[in-house]
Structure 1
Amino acid sequence: MSQVMGERTADPCPRCSVEAVRRGSPTSAGGREVVGYTCDRCAHTWSRPVETDVDVYDIVRVDLPDVTLYGTVWQVRTDRIQVRGTSGAGGAWLRWVERWRVIIY
């Protein structure tokens, strides 16, 4: 299941349902860490909580500025997570990412 998908994974806006690449940004709301998003079409804003229950061997999606990765959690730290995956050419990769970029898949 680990793979690299295109340039990015597009998610639909909850209001207008238009799918587009959206880069989130870490912020806080109501004392919780969240990732905030804005729709370029309708200007709707929404957020999702930063994953707090990530465990080793979870399958995750990682939204990076230039690519969306899918892989398996290898290590978990307070502020970052190590993800392992495979590339289409059969090679493996291992990458540390900020916790707020990880979505349990």
Structure 2
Amino acid sequence: MSRSIGAHTADPCPRCRVEEVRIGIPSSARGRDAVGYRCDRCGHTWSRLLEDDLDVYDTVRVDLPEATIYGTVQQVEDDRVHVRDTDSGQTLWVDLWRVILY
């Protein structure tokens, strides 16, 4: 289960279960666009496929370098998503690979 650490959300490693903030990097997995992650403790690597079925009003988590935000999808384009931050009400465009459907 994820938990808040400062301005970020930490996720557990699937292998060693150590919670850590991992922003991820764009990659490919099995011929599809994905986000790759690596555990600094045990070295395990894994990936998640990019969200390909986002709709307006979906609730999402966005992992940014400076913070993790939770919000609502306002608009979806090919490689970016317009999100309204639940806490501040501000909107921002983010890269699709940073978005996790919640």
Offset at residue 63 of structure 1 (A): 0.3
CA contact (8 A) 1:6 1:68 kept: no
User: What's 2:77 paired with?
Assistant: 77
User: What's 2:92 paired with?
Assistant: 95
Kindly provide the CA deviation profile for residues 33-82 of structure 1, in whole angstroms up to 9, marking residues without a partner as x.
Answer: 00000000000000000000000000000000110000000000001000
Aligned-partner Cα distance in 1 for 2:73–2:50: 15
Give the share of equivalent positions with the same residue, in percent.
63
Counterpart mapping for 1:25-104 below 5 A:
25-87=25-87, 91-104=88-101
Letter in 2 for 1:104: L
List structure 1 runs of 4+ shifted beyond 3 angstroms: none
Q: Report the count of equivalent residues.
A: 99
Aligned-partner Cα distance in 1 for 2:80–2:61: 14
User: What's 1:12 paired with?
Assistant: 12
TM normalised by structure 2 equals 0.92
CA contact (8 A) 1:10 1:21 kept: yes
Greater RCO structure (CA 8 Å; 6+ sep): 1
Letter in 1 for 2:79: D
TM normalised by structure 1 equals 0.89
Aligned-partner Cα distance in 1 for 2:17–2:78: 34
Kindly provide the CA deviation profile for residues 6-26 of structure 1, in whole angstroms up to 9, marking residues without a partner as x.
Answer: 321000000000001112000
Structure 2 unaligned runs (5+)? Answer: none
Q: CA RMSD in A?
A: 1.5
